[in-house]
Amino acid sequence: MNQITAAPAFQGRASFLLIAAFPAFFILFKFAFWERYGVFDFHSFHLAGLLANAGQIDQLYQPNFFSAQYLQQYGEPGLLPWFYPPLLVPYCQFLALFPVATAFLVNGFISIAAYYLAVRWVFSERSRDIVILSALPLIIALGFGHPVILLLSLLLVGYRLAPSNLWAGLLALTICAAKPHLGGVALFLLFFRKAPKSLLPSTLIGASIGLIFAAFYGWKIWWLFLQSISLAASYLEGRTLNQQWISSIYASALAFDAPSLFATLAQVAALLLYCGIGAYLFRHEKSDQFWVVTGLAVVFTSPYLMYYDLVYLLFPLALVVNRMNMHKARNWVYALFLLEVGLLVLLELMPAATFGFLIFAAFTTMIFIGKARYSLKP
């Protein structure tokens, strides 16, 4: 019986390898046709590394100077400032050792390998189906060239380590918080769930990271980052920063000319609704109940979620798949895979914030259906 329930939905080795390799094929295609399909968003990470390697840390958080470097470095103008925490700077410095197209290729393969290895380690019995269901959503983030997949992998690692080693789990989630409005949510929730035990490790981890980065870049880098937060908020509120790629209930409501208060209330209501349903569906799996709520909160808390941040939905999806009877859920897995194909097509044809809610609702609803109908009996 255990062998039946553990059997993957996609049982053919060839189909598994083909689908799992699709993100790599996508990266190679982008690299081969870089002059035509070069990813502008990736330039900001590469440029941050170039400036850091040149010792120009002070200029990293100066939007006018930073944006002015695009034309000089890449031959085209740019309007993407650098608002990320210093945690990402060492990785960007590594990428800047390569020409931008090669760096994109390196980042893509590192991201794919890190995620697949994390899935294999954390969900060994269900890793094949999770990898297959992840392949197409990964392409969204890879297409933008954002290292968010590495941060998602750290979320998986934090989930795996936290129950047995709180220090290691908090460290993984601290690095994951390089996107504070996403990974920071998971870190915040784990901290309060484990308080007061989490107070000492969190303090020491935070102090150690602060000291290490100050030793390499100077204390000023933290001050510059804190100053940039309010500036980033003004860019987002003014709708001048990649507005067409913001995908949230809040952004969707604003796109339909709803008042800001209504959009905010809709965002909060969606957060409470989805987290509440997730908690109910996992009421018999207490060890994962907190984490599925955390995964949903990571995605539905921020009103300024970008399309490529949707890959964080793969975390609650993995938790659902890990608790499913794959023998009964095979058709559901196929349907979800086809839905992902449709979402990719939709993103290519209609890159607008008004479709953000549709993407959230469709994908999350399928996650809930899978848990409600095909869960393994407790």
For residue range 142-200, what is the model confidence (pLDDT) as tens digits?
988 889 999 999 999 999 999 999 999 999 999 999 988 899 999 999 999 999 999 99
**Do 251 and 358 meet the contact criterion of CB atoms below 8 Å apart?**
no
Residue 4 has pLDDT above 60, yes or no: no
Q: What angle do CA 305, 310, 312 make, to 5 degrees?
A: 105
Q: Give the domain extent around 43.
A: 2-374
Most confident of 6-20, 68-82, 281-295: 281-295
For the chain, the straight-line distance linking the first and the last C-alpha, in angstroms and rounded, comes to 15
Which among 223, 197, 195 is positioned nearest to 210, based on CA atoms?
A: 223
**Whole-angstrom distance, CA of residue 137 vs CA of residue 133:** 8
Maximum C-alpha span of the chain? 63
* Local structure of 246: helix, strand or coil: strand
Average pLDDT over residues 356-378: 82
State the pLDDT confidence band at 224, using cuts at 50, 70 and 90: confident
In tens, the pLDDT along 33-80 reads: 888 777 778 888 999 999 999 999 888 888 888 888 888 888 777 777
Long-range contacts of 25-31 (CB under 8 A, 24+ apart): 26/139, 26/142, 26/143, 27/104, 27/105, 27/108, 27/109, 27/112, 27/142, 28/105, 30/104, 30/108, 30/142, 30/143, 31/101, 31/102, 31/104, 31/105
Domains: count for the chain:
1
Record the pTM.
0.91
In tens, the pLDDT along 189-212 reads: 999 999 999 999 999 999 999 999
